[in-house]
Amino acid sequence: MLSQEKQEIRDQILSYDNQIEKLHLEFQKYRAGEQEVMPQWEELERELIVFSRRKIFDRELHNQLERVLYKFQNRKKIWLKWAEEVHGTI
């Protein structure tokens, strides 16, 4: 794998990680009532799914992507729970 290609993949994975953190902060504001509209996480999920279908042969990059995918799934569970709390369905 070319080093430029590796760097592009690494940068994209880092971007997804940062987007997850940003969404988490937005959900915290939503839960606290500081933000009225629930943050949109579905588009990021679709992007992650498409990106994860790429063949990544570099073990380090593959592991980083797996970590970000796992992080997203865990945060998604938290976000949906918070959304239920905000809407009073618990």
The sign of the torsion formed by the CA atoms of 35, 41, 31, 90 equals positive
**pTM of the predicted protein model:** 0.91
For 60-89, the pLDDT digits (tens) are 999 999 999 999 999 999 999 999 988 875
Model pLDDT, residue 87: 82
Q: Cβ contacts of residue 85 below 8 Å, gap of 6+?
A: 31
Which among 48, 49, 28 is positioned nearest to 38, based on CA atoms? 28
Note whether 87 and 35 are within 8 A (CB). no
Radius of gyration of the chain, Cα coordinates, nearest whole angstrom: 15
Model pLDDT, residue 88: 76
Which among 49, 53, 57 is positioned nearest to 6, based on CA atoms? 57
Which among 43, 36, 41 is positioned nearest to 24, based on CA atoms? 41
For 5-54, the pLDDT digits (tens) are 999 999 999 999 999 999 999 999 999 999 999 999 999 999 999 999 99
